[in-house]
Amino acid sequence: MSPLEIIASALGVWAVWLTVRQNRWCWPLGLVMVLMYAWIFYDGKLYSNMLLQGIYAVLQGYGWWQWTRGGSSQNGVHVSQLSPQSIQLSLAIGAAGALVLGYLMATFTDATAPWQDAALSAFSLVAQVWMAQKRVECWPLWIVLDLLFVALFVQQGLYPTALLYGVFTLLAINGWLTWRRDRALADA
């Protein structure tokens, strides 16, 4: 348990809490957090998760743009739902990404959990893109992923990070309920 991991965990809770509240400042705060976690995961030989943090850094910019300038009126996107076809396509892309990344990590690195790490990383990208687009479906996916991340981080001895993902699970449940309510109010 390093001071860097503790600080990154605290920033993570703050960033996700802001996301649940649909506060656009979640994105720059999230950028700082993911850069810190890139180093933590490199040090822990969780290379898929390290790479994931780099992609998250780019997605933080995408989310900032979507939430501040996206949408048809260029005022930011609003909570919406995906079509069943979009969900299936996104999950298929996540599965393909998991297979490719898992193979690469298992074959070419000394990663400690190459397949588990790769699958969680690939599907996290799907959830992150959905979150940037304010798709309500991001939250149930995050709930499942966060629980699986808790198991991975406990296995790797990253206890503050495991605790963080436990908190993320609770925040994701809150986010799902909040965004569903906001979506229903917008439709009313």
> Average pLDDT of each block of 10 consecutive residues along the chain (188 residues)?
87 93 95 94 84 91 91 82 97 97 92 91 95 96 97 89 91 95 82
Does 27 map to a domain?
Answer: yes
Is 35 part of any domain?
yes
Q: Is residue 77 part of a domain?
A: no
Q: Is residue 95 part of a domain?
A: yes
> How many structural domains compose the chain?
1
Does 78 fall in a domain? no
Q: Which domain holds residue 169?
A: 3-72+83-187
How confident is the model at residue 128, as a pLDDT?
94
The Cα–Cα gap between 54 and 51 comes to 5
Q: Is residue 32 part of a domain?
A: yes
What pLDDT does residue 45 have? 83
149 burial level (CB within 10 Å; 0-12, 13-18, 19+):
buried
- Check residue 125 and give its pLDDT: 93
**48 assigned to some structural domain:** yes
In this predicted structure, what is the pLDDT of residue 6? 87
